[in-house]
Amino acid sequence: MKSNLDRFKYILVCVGIAFVMLSYYVYQIFFTANFGNKEDSKEYVLYIRSGATFQDVIDTLDKNKAYDDKTSFAFIAKMLGYQEHVKSGRYIIPVGSTNLQVVRKLRSGAQDPIRITFNSIRLKSEFIERIGGKFSFGKDTLGRLLSNPDICKKYGFDTSTVLAMFLPNTYEFYWSLSVTDFMNRMKQEYDTFWTQERKDLASAAGLTPVQVTILASIVDAETNQPVEKSIVAGVYINRLNIGMPLQADPTVKFALGDFAIKRINHDLIEAAGSSPYNTYKVLGLPPGPINMPSITTIDRVLHYQSHDYLFFVADPARPGFHTFNEDYRSHVNKANTYRKSLNKRNIH
């Protein structure tokens, strides 16, 4: 009898030990950090494409050595039903994350947004290259869409003006959104910006919103000085109003595709030929923006300064600034002074 009791106690102790060990193991795999435990670890960003399987997720994590123990992660994923319900997206996995935290995040599809800033972009191709690659839809898809006349027309633009729809700012997106959702969001931002008040100001200047953006792109390329932007805009509006060519140097650079040119001369103007962007030879505004102008510059064009200036030239005495003139003779004198300063500095 005593022997049976001892055996029962022994079994009970063994079961207790096994339970404690199992409980400890379960605790470990659920609540102990399994991600980013190395000394030099940083948060890991996991990208899961649409249609990916759990094996694809495991392969990505393995390849990047994101976790310490694959088996425990897969076990928790199976227990919580994630293996059969993989959701695409971009997920940030902080250093020291547990299996439970990561699986819950992935299973819920709780993506982390990306912040994207549009600025200092000259060409549509540059925009496609810089922005398209930040999303799951990729550069090629965005490029095809922005080169499609029917798609551009759907949003109220053409293939030359569509860059005007993208207002320089910082935006938050989900990496996995579709290219259509991206375009719809940008059009919504554009429509929100172009309030009735702004439309009325554009109309008063004899311009459409797209034309305002085109003019703003020229102004942005002409001067970095905020105090000058509305004055420069006024010069170009004066020229438009009297049917005078804009004669904007930045448009010649755009026509030639060479933005490193420091000095526009007769030969370069001739080289640009009859390009619609050569505003020395073609009247009116070019067919599209020559860069992505800032919101500030767009507003300065809308609030352009009313004056009688028709000419302006860089001021050698104040680098970065310009002098403005109403008559051509005064302008020529100032321009000659500026040319001499360029010659002294061997700028050709």
Measured CA distances, 184 to 156, 180, 188, 191, 328 (Å) = 12, 6, 6, 10, 47
Residue 345 neighbours by CB under 8 Å, 6+ apart: none
Q: Is there a single domain that holds both residue 103 and residue 146?
A: no
Measured between alpha carbons, how far is 235 from 232 in angstroms, rounded to an integer? 5
Given a contact cutoff of 8 angstroms between Cβ atoms, the answer to whether 83 and 54 are in contact is: yes
Q: Is residue 290 part of a domain?
A: yes
Q: Is residue 266 part of a domain?
A: yes
Q: Is residue 333 part of a domain?
A: no
Task: Please report the pLDDT score of residue 26 as a whole number.
Answer: 57
Q: Is residue 240 part of a domain?
A: yes
Q: Where are the beta strands (DSSP E) in 229-293?
A: none
Cα distance between the two ends of the chain? 111
Q: Is there a single domain that holds both residue 219 and residue 142?
A: no
Q: Is residue 319 part of a domain?
A: no
Q: Is there a single domain that holds both residue 52 and residue 155?
A: no
What domain range is 85 assigned to?
A: 32-112
Q: Is residue 108 part of a domain?
A: yes
Q: Output the tens digit of pLDDT for each of the chain's 348 residues.
A: 556 655 655 555 555 555 444 444 555 666 688 898 776 778 999 999 999 999 999 999 999 999 999 999 999 999 999 999 999 999 999 999 999 999 999 999 999 999 999 888 999 999 999 999 999 999 999 999 999 999 999 999 999 999 999 999 999 999 999 999 999 999 999 999 999 999 999 999 999 999 999 999 999 999 999 999 999 999 999 999 999 999 999 999 999 999 999 889 999 999 999 999 999 999 999 999 999 999 999 999 999 999 999 999 999 889 889 999 999 998 888 888 888 887 777 776
Q: Is there a single domain that holds both residue 229 and residue 182?
A: no
